[in-house]
Chains A and B, each alone.
Chain A
Amino acid sequence: MAHRGRFPQEAEVIGPKKYNHTMSSFHIPTMAEMTAAGKAPEVLFWVGCAGSFDDRAKRITKAIARILNAAETSFAVLGQEESCTGDPAKRAGNEFLYQMQAAQNIATLNGYGIKRIITGCPHCFNMLKNEYPELGGQYEVLHHTQFIRELIETGKLRMSGDQPFKGRRITFHDPCYLGRANGEYLAPREVISKLDAELMEMRRCKQNAMCCGAGGAQMFKEAEPGEREVNHARTDEALETQPEVIATGCPFCNTMMTDGVKNANQESNVEVKDIAELIAEAADLLETPAS
């Protein structure tokens, strides 16, 4: 329950940052900087609110950024100019607020002449891809798992020789707004397959996957009275596969499943990680784990 209607997680102590020796800190340009320098990036990385502010989700954001950097993708972010897509407002019934947000974001994006966007969040993905076009925002929009697949397939991103996830049991929780909403079940699975891991499908997956309980603005309120929390029920289904890792593709699912794993007292056995984090680790792009 700790997540409901509350602030995102407090900063977790990760310990002194130790980057892999081949990696050094790099600069992520904003669109404003790029434009000032007379340059335009290949893609815009749309970070989203969770990815920008929530400490756990920021780790996912950084993993995506490291992947883009390692694959030598020319990318930029909007930084302070990015604003909520309006998804939680719209699905809670506040169409005005949503359309104000959309109008503002579309003005920003069109102002920079953005063509291709990758998002770190399926909700942003769905908004930008499906709901902005009619309001004047037309872009090619990819979820980060789709873009990572592209990077691997075109050889721009290579895994390191020793696979840290080889043979490990990973289950994937389909985010509603990537899966059912947009029919993308393959990209995340194909990316996971590059890890040489054992993909354990849950009883209910793909079209039939159960929601983590965060969508439709539930993330920002207490649940209605009932017998259980949705995320606890879904985490139980994930745990039935006896995974070592529960992989996600959405920062909200990540929060929900992490809470569920804690509730089941499984946090010492099961990690909840975004696919981007798994790939960044496998490609040797992360801080070496503090041992």
Chain B
Amino acid sequence: MISQLLFLLLLSTGIFFFAQRIGVIRRNIQSGRDWDGSDRKAERWATMARVALGQGKMTARPVAGVMHILIYVGFVIINIEILEILIDGLFGTHRIFSFLGPLYDFLIASFEWLALGVIVACVVFFVRRNGLALARLTSKELKGWPSLDANIILVVEVLLMFAFLSMNATDSIAQSRGLDHYVPAGTFPISSFLIPLYSGLSDAGVMAMEQGMWWFHIAGVLAFLVYVPYSKHFHIILAFPNTYFSNLNPIGQMDNMAAVKKEVDLMMDPQADPYASAPATDGPPARFGVKDAPDLTWKQLLESYTCTECGRCTSECPANQTGKLLSPRKIMMSTRDRIEEIGQSREANGGEWKPDGKSLLGDWITEEELWACTSCQACVEACPINISPMGIILDMRRSLIMEDSKSPESITTMFNNIENNGAPWAFPAGSRGDWTQEV
């Protein structure tokens, strides 16, 4: 009875903190500009099924891809076991699903195989980060918290899987000794190798160890639940909505700014009265382009929370490959860090955000980074969860030009040429057709 109450307390605490954190992230994301993702539903579901559920873009990097699929499948399926743990915990039962008989044996056996897979994959990932030190997993933007975060996740997943297997090992010892309410259930293809670890224990010791591992496993899972939304690991949930709201247009297609269209239409309309007062707008005039994180769309903010910091984008980026400061992964991380900061001060301030004189463009992301982008879309293509760092970069350039009139001199010259001659170079527009005389 006491243990049931304790379990209930643990469970509700975990869920409470998880829900609270989700609320904060939700408000952060919703502080972005409107973006309409309500169209083309069938295509959206299909994209989500292919890219997130089906891990469609992951195996472009075969080792990371295959290892990840192991973790992913393992995690999702082993969670069926969590259901049993929840029921057992709440009602004081033991292995409630064991009535399934051979099916139960099969399930437990496959969970064990998957747990082994998860352990192997996590070890491989750990070695790639810390032993082999692959370039994309050790770049400077990962120094400190991001790489610690990555290692915590990997170590905790190994510990959880180890607890799960130890629980089964001690359980099977208890079963073979015919101990009280350890009904014979399940087959244990992997955990049986752990039996020698625990077989020296007394009956009471075996039972205590089985209970201990059970508690460690479920407490670990709940702690992880609370940890995940503070971490890049939140992608395990957000990958799904993020891919649902994927850009479905050709990736080279850049949006036309509606606010600019309105002004250009007015200018081009010969009927428009140039002396008429400016049309009334509701609210303060929106900024052109993106200067701070809330100028992004909610979709772009969602992307920043979904980013796994894998660096596939950066490792494909031609600017980064040739030693420029730009790293598309860092663009996503800076965006998330900034909207987090804004969110924290908003939460601390009774829900209202007081500008702090800082902005994403300038304090987190520099002009030098932005101007290095060739708009080649390699980062967009490389991202396994359909994030577009390029979109944020180009939106920030809009703010640089249209709000701050800041551009490299040669870019200003190019603008002037287009304006005056209809071409980016200083050739007279009248000579545009001259080549036709030369064929």
Give me the interface of A with B, judged by CB distance under 8 Å: 5, 7-8, 25-28, 30, 47, 49, 51-54, 58, 61-62, 65-66, 69, 77, 79-80, 82-84, 86, 88-97, 99-101, 103, 107, 126, 130-131, 134-135, 176-177, 180-183, 207-208, 210-211, 213-230, 233-234
A91 with B433: CB separation less than 8 A: no
Residue of A nearest to B395 (CB): A93
Contacts of B402 in A (CB 8 A): 93-96
B411 with A220: CB separation less than 8 A: yes
5 A-B pairs with CB atoms under 8 Å apart are A84-B423, A180-B378, A220-B414, A224-B324, A230-B322
A131 with B433: CB separation less than 8 A: no
A49-B424, A226-B319 given; 19 more Cβ-contact pairs under 8 Å: A5-B410, A8-B425, A52-B435, A91-B254, A92-B407, A93-B396, A97-B419, A99-B261, A103-B268, A126-B253, A207-B381, A208-B381, A213-B318, A215-B374, A216-B373, A217-B414, A224-B325, A224-B371, A225-B325
**B404: min CB distance to chain A, Å:** 10
B254 with A90: CB separation less than 8 A: yes
Residue of B nearest to A215 (CB): B374
Contacts of A215 in B (CB 8 A): 374-376
A180 partner, pick from B373, B377, B418, B430, beta carbons under 8 A: B377
Contacts of B265 in A (CB 8 A): 103
A96 with B436: CB separation less than 8 A: no
B318 with A234: CB separation less than 8 A: yes
In the complex, what distance in Å separates the CA atom of A7 from the CA atom of B318?
Answer: 24
Residue of A nearest to B410 (CB): A5
- For residues 358 through 410 of chain B, which have their beta carbon under 8 Å from a beta carbon of chain A? 368, 371-378, 380-381, 394, 396-402, 407-408, 410
Determine chain B's interface SS by DSSP, over half rule.
Answer: helix
Contacts of B250 in A (CB 8 A): 126, 130, 181-183
Q: Please tell me if B422 contacts chain A, counting CB pairs below 8 Å.
A: yes
Chain B contact-residue range equals: 35 or more
Q: Please tell me if B252 contacts chain A, counting CB pairs below 8 Å.
A: yes
B322 with A222: CB separation less than 8 A: no
Q: Please tell me if B249 contacts chain A, counting CB pairs below 8 Å.
A: yes
B249 with A130: CB separation less than 8 A: yes
In the complex, what distance in Å separates the CA atom of A101 from the CA atom of B256?
Answer: 13
A210 with B394: CB separation less than 8 A: no
Q: Please tell me if B288 contacts chain A, counting CB pairs below 8 Å.
A: yes
Q: Please tell me if B438 contacts chain A, counting CB pairs below 8 Å.
A: yes
A77 with B415: CB separation less than 8 A: no
**A27: min CB distance to chain B, Å:** 8
B374 with A211: CB separation less than 8 A: yes
**B370: min CB distance to chain A, Å:** 9
Contacts of A27 in B (CB 8 A): 436
B381 partner, pick from A61, A180, A217, A228, beta carbons under 8 A: A180
A176 with B394: CB separation less than 8 A: no
In the complex, what distance in Å separates the CA atom of A183 from the CA atom of B253?
Answer: 12
Contacts of B418 in A (CB 8 A): 84, 86, 88-89, 97, 101
Q: Please tell me if B193 contacts chain A, counting CB pairs below 8 Å.
A: no
A130 with B432: CB separation less than 8 A: no
Contacts of B380 in A (CB 8 A): 180
**B290: min CB distance to chain A, Å:** 10
